[in-house]
Amino acid sequence: MQLYLDTANLGEIREAASWGVLSGVTTNPTLMAREKGADFQATIQEIASLVDGPISAETIALDAEGMIREGLEYAQWHPNVIIKVPSTTEGLKAVYALAKQNIRTNVTLCFNPIQALMAARAGAFIISPFVGRVDDIGVDGIQLIREIRGVYNAGGIQTRILSASIRHPRHIVESALAGADIATCPYKVLQQAMQHPLTDIGIERFLADWQHRQA
Ligand code: E4P
């Protein structure tokens, strides 16, 4: 399973990219709005220069025509830009039209396997089920990943399953085991993923022993 970073913060992207673990980046309007005053196009282009992989940029329009217009514009920014559209029938129209022009899409805000099947049939490159937000309403988010994997395998569907709305490191492990192709993670979660108290204690002990070694 590949790891993407779920942020529009260039500092976080630069740092995580230096760890060598990033295969792509996802952004959304909320994440963009957190970067006060940042220009959308310039930010996406800067991200694309930092990470060599799919970079998702989300459309704002709610109608297919508007999504297609925005998608065609974003696609000019960099060859790695993926057009993010919502899991709606207007979104499907946009996916279908953009796919005909070889423009890759990421269908976001997916909350059930039927949305995932329809997005794939319309030609989506990526489907983004929101694991954390499903957990939030008392339903098993990881089960959603498992069901989409089952549906896709049954139909020989190649659309990539991107586990989104990741809240903690365990979500990453469970997404991989449930068959996700990608997990997109907030920076904090990627940091937490490498933390372990026994690693810290081990480092401390090694250093202490090294300092007290006999000459
Ligand atoms: C995915 O691409 C989304 O940007 C993201 O994972 C949303 O997650 P949230 O529930 O933390 O907002």
Report the nearest-CA residue for atom 9 of ligand 1: 165
pLDDT over 90 (residue 215): no
Count Cβ atoms below 10 Å from residue 42 Cβ, excluding itself: 11
Using CA atoms, how far apart are residues 48 and 57, in angstroms rounded to an integer? 11
C-alpha closest to that of 134 among 115, 154, 155 = 115
What are the E-state strand segments in the chain? 2-6, 22-26, 55-58, 81-86, 105-110, 126-129, 160-163, 182-185
Q: What is the pLDDT of residue 214?
A: 77
Percentage of residues of the chain with pLDDT beyond 90: 99
Q: What is the DSSP string of 122-162?
A: HT-SEEEEBHHHHHHTTS-HHHHHHHHHHHHHHHT--PEEE
Residue 133 Cβ inside 6 Å of ligand 1? The answer reads yes
Catalytic residue among 84, 93, 100, 188: 84
Residue 66 Cβ inside 6 Å of ligand 1? The answer reads no
Residue 168 Cβ inside 6 Å of ligand 1? The answer reads no
pLDDT over 80 (residue 136): yes
Best of 23, 165, 168 to mutate for ligand 1, by most ligand atoms within 8 A of CB?
165
pLDDT, tens only, 169-198: 999 999 999 999 999 999 999 999 999 999
Atom of ligand 1 nearest to the CA of 184: 6
Instruction: Pull the structure tokens for residue 211.
Output: 């300092």
Is 100 catalytic? The answer is: no
Instruction: Pull the structure tokens for residue 60.
Output: 């704002």
Residue 164 Cβ inside 6 Å of ligand 1? The answer reads yes
Using CA atoms, how far apart are residues 22 and 13, in angstroms rounded to an integer? 9
168 CA → ligand 1 middle, Å:
13
pLDDT, tens only, 10-67: 999 999 999 999 999 999 999 999 999 999 999 999 999 999 999 999 999 999 999 9
Mean residue pLDDT of the chain comes to 97
Using CA atoms, how far apart are residues 69 and 75, in angstroms rounded to an integer? 10
Atom of ligand 1 nearest to the CA of 84: 2
28 CA → ligand 1 middle, Å:
7
Atom of ligand 1 nearest to the CA of 27: 4
Residue type, 29: P
Using CA atoms, how far apart are residues 180 and 174, in angstroms rounded to an integer? 9
